[in-house]
């Protein structure tokens, strides 16, 4: 009968006689399958830090992931900008809003006080002349707050572009650093904002002026109605055209600041980057605008409504108490409007910079350049500005 390995039992030696010495044990037999042999460890399993180059830590996470982003990431990234570095970001938006509000109040409050005083003390014969002069002064002085808003808005665009670009690299800049970098490109930004304002204002004035001229030349009511309807159709078509051009040229501020381009070059860059991504860019800008508008209405309108209801309940006769509550409600509404306006302007400006970086990642591989920049910076190597176009990167100054 054949005995298998599992049936084999080691024989038991017979017992030794009393007093006999224990015989030595036989040498251990080698294992059945031989002695295991272990070679040197594979380089893939070497301990971290081994090797001539050592171990480099991964890049620190920044504002944006260093890869092309999905729609949801793009949608909420501008709001993360405000949360990640709130003091300089929200502070800049607040300064911009206050600059426009203070400029308007400083000019128009004394003007209206003077106008109303003149109207109260004027004769009926002088009333028309006073009103005409008041309208002229209002139109003339409106240039000052418009100019302040123009400069402030351009500066805010530059600040937010710098904040998003530096935040993507894991940097957290202070007020001074943000403002210095944005101020270096303020004149092209003002020129671009002024160009947009002039074009929009000229088109609107041309349409409205045409309607008024036709109404004066042809006072027939039927003609006026036809002209008004035609003007509305033209304005609707111009709105569609403006939405298309605004989307195609939305990235101009980012190109001006980050690529240090002139206005014409920045327009060409924005046009080329948005090729094939028009609807995505338009949808993001529209959706964020609707979200911010709805949020502003939800915050501001209940305060105004509750203040009015409270004044009517406490003082139905519209006396001094009613006036005091109305003034307090108006002040609270204005304060909330300024705060909400600061948040809105910051988020909308940040969105443009986020879209710009994402489109460059998709079309030019900017994400790889940013990764190399961060790794070199963490290793202590000199780094150049990673946002300059490839042809300008060789002679770029150090990113600072």
What DSSP assignment string belongs to 341-370? HHHHHHHHHHHHHHHHHHHHHHHH-HHHHH
CB-based contact 259:385 (threshold 8 Å): no
Q: Tell me how far the alpha carbon of residue 288 is from its chain's centroid.
A: 10
* Element spanning 3, H or E: none
- Tell me if the pTM is above 0.75: yes
Q: How far apart are CA 266 and CA 260, in angstroms?
A: 9
| Model pLDDT, residue 13 | 57
Check residue 157 and give its pLDDT: 92
What is the spatial distance between Cα 29 and Cα 26, in angstroms, rounded to a whole number?
9
- Tell the burial category of 145 from Cβ atoms under 10 Å away from its Cβ (0-12, 13-18, 19+): buried
Q: How many CB atoms lie within 10 A of CB 68?
A: 17
Measured between alpha carbons, how far is 357 from 125 in angstroms, rounded to an integer?
A: 63
Spatial CA neighbour of 350 closest among 222, 197, 166: 166
Q: Which residue has the tokens 């990234």?
A: 77
pLDDT values of the chain reduced to their tens digit, one per residue, 400 residues: 454 444 444 555 566 555 555 555 555 455 444 444 444 444 444 444 344 444 455 555 578 888 888 888 888 899 888 888 888 899 888 988 888 888 888 877 787 777 777 777 767 666 777 777 777 777 777 788 888 888 888 999 999 999 999 999 988 888 889 999 999 999 999 999 999 989 988 888 888 888 788 778 877 778 778 888 888 888 899 999 999 999 999 999 999 999 999 999 999 999 999 999 999 999 999 999 999 999 888 888 888 888 888 888 887 777 778 788 888 888 888 889 889 989 999 999 999 999 999 999 999 989 899 998 888 888 888 888 899 876 654 444 444 4
Alpha-carbon dihedral 38, 40, 46, 52, rounded to 10 degrees: 180
Q: Identify the three-state secondary structure at position 107.
A: helix
Cβ distance 345 to 97 under 8 Å?
Answer: yes
Could you give the CA distance from residue 138 to residue 161 in angstroms, rounded to a whole number?
35
CA distance 118 to 110: 12
> Are 122 and 130 in contact, with CB atoms under 8 Å apart?
yes
Residue 235 is encoded by which pair of tokens? 């304005």
Q: Which two tokens stand for residue 276?
A: 């094939």
322 neighbors 315 (Cβ within 8 angstroms): yes
Which pLDDT score is estimated for 50? 40
Q: Give the model's pLDDT for residue 160.
A: 93
d(CA 57, CA 377): 12
**Residue 258 CB burial class (10 angstroms; 0-12, 13-18, ≥19):** buried
Quickly count: other Cβ atoms within 10 Å of residue 197's Cβ: 14
- Residue 18's pLDDT is 59
How confident is the model at residue 361, as a pLDDT? Answer: 93
Residue 27: predicted pLDDT: 53
Q: 214: Cβ–Cβ under 8 A, 6 or more apart, which residues?
A: 223, 224, 227
């Amino acid at each position: 009968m054949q005995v298998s390995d599992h049936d084999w039992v080691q024989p038991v030696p017979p017992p030794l006689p009393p007093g006999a010495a224990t015989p030595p044990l036989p040498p251990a037999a080698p294992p059945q399958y031989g002695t295991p042999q272990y070679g040197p460890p594979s380089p893939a399993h070497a301990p971290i830090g081994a090797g001539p180059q050592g171990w480099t830590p991964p890049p620190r996470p920044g504002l944006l992931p260093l890869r092309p982003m999905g729609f949801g990431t793009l949608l909420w990234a501008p709001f993360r900008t405000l949360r990640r570095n709130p003091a300089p970001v929200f502070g800049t938006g607040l300064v911009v809003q206050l600059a426009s509000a203070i400029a308007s109040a400083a000019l128009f409050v004394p003007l209206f006080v003077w106008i109303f005083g003149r109207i109260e003390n004027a004769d009926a014969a002088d009333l028309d002349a006073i009103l005409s002069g008041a309208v002229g002064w209002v139109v003339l002085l409106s240039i000052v707050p418009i100019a302040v808003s123009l400069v402030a808005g351009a500066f805010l665009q530059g600040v937010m572009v710098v904040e998003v670009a530096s935040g993507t690299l894991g940097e957290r800049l202070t007020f001074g650093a943000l403002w210095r970098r944005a101020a270096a490109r303020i004149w092209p930004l003002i020129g671009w904002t002024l160009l947009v304002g002039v074009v929009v204002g000229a088109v609107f004035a041309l349409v409205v002026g045409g309607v008024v001229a036709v109404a004066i030349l042809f006072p027939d009511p039927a003609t006026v109605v036809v002209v008004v309807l035609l003007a509305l159709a033209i304005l609707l078509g111009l709105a569609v055209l403006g939405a298309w051009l605004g989307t195609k040229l939305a990235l101009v501020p980012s190109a001006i600041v980050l690529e240090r381009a002139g206005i014409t070059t920045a327009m060409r860059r924005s046009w080329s980057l948005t090729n094939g991504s028009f609807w995505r860019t338009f949808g993001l800008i529209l959706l964020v605008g609707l979200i911010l508008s709805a949020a502003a209405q939800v915050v501001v309108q209940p305060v105004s409504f509750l203040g009015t209801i409270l004044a009517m309940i406490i003082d139905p006769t519209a006396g001094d108490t009613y006036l005091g509550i109305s003034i307090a409600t108006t002040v609270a509404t204005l304060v909330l409007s300024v705060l909400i306006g600061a948040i809105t302007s910051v988020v909308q400006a940040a969105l443009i910079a986020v879209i710009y970086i994402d489109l460059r990642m998709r079309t030019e591989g900017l994400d790889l350049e940013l990764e190399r920049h961060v790794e070199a910076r963490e290793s202590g190597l000199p780094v150049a500005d990673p946002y300059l176009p490839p042809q300008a990167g060789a002679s770029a100054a150090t990113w600072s």
